[in-house]
Amino acid sequence: MKKFVAHKITDLEAVAIEIITRSSFPTIILVEGDLGAGKTALAKKIGEQLGLSANQIKSPTFSMLNSYKISGNLTFHHLDLYRQKQLDEILLQTLAEIIEDRHALVYIEWPQLLTEWLQQFPLLQKFKLVIEMKSKNERHLTLTEI
Ligand SMILES: Nc1ncnc2c1ncn2[C@@H]1O[C@H](COP(=O)(O)OP(=O)(O)OP(=O)(O)O)[C@@H](O)[C@H]1O
Ligand SMILES: [Mg+2]
């Protein structure tokens, strides 16, 4: 388990680097935190570290899934399941295909619905990241490999 404290957006760079360097691919990151905790902000930092530009990465609030091709075969998949009230077969099928790809980094906001479903992939590398807002300018991020 590793803990980080972020006072500003740029402090998320260290978290992004930690996640990327520990990823063996395929890797899934389950990101928990209240509305506005900074889940999408960290996704942008991960994308930036992978060579994307920050404004290329849009929150998948409505699209549910945004996928970005990175040079060197890697694909960064960013999901936001906030609007998903129950598991959708098409989504599960898509996710199953995504994690069959050895070069996938999958970042999921509001992942709670998937916890049980993911148990059928015991060999998949998974991280849980919890973001807690302590005050407007202090966020605690706890990264655990699960
Ligand atoms: N570490 C941080 N330091 C300062 N501001 C931050 C930090 N992380 C996020 N913010 C700011 O907080 C606001 C909300 O962030 P963001 O959209 O990433 O939250 P979210 O967790 O994705 O929310 P949602 O649950 O609605 O998807 C944004 O304006 C963002 O710039
Ligand atoms: Mg978000």
* DSSP conformation letters of the chain: -EEEEESSGGGHHHHHHHHHHH--SSEEEEEE--TTSSHHHHHHHHHHHTT--GGG----TTTSEEEEE-SSS-EEEEEE-TT--S--HHHHHHHHHHHHSTTEEEEEES-GGGTTGGGG-TTSEEEEEEEEEEETTEEEEEEEE-
Q: Among 9, 13, 140, name the best residue to mutate to test ligand 1's pocket (greatest count of ligand atoms within 8 A of Cβ).
A: 9
pLDDT tens for residues 91-128?
999 999 999 988 999 999 999 999 999 999 988 999 99
Distance 39 CA to ligand 1 centre (A): 6
Q: Using 50, 70 and 90 to split pLDDT, how confident is the model at 38?
A: very high
Q: Which atom of ligand 1 is nearest to the CA of 61?
A: 27
> Which pTM was predicted?
0.96
Pick the CATH number of 24-132 from 3.40.50.300, 3.40.190.10, 1.20.120.10, 3.30.300.30: 3.40.50.300
pLDDT digits (tens, 9 = 90+) for 12-25: 999 999 999 999 99
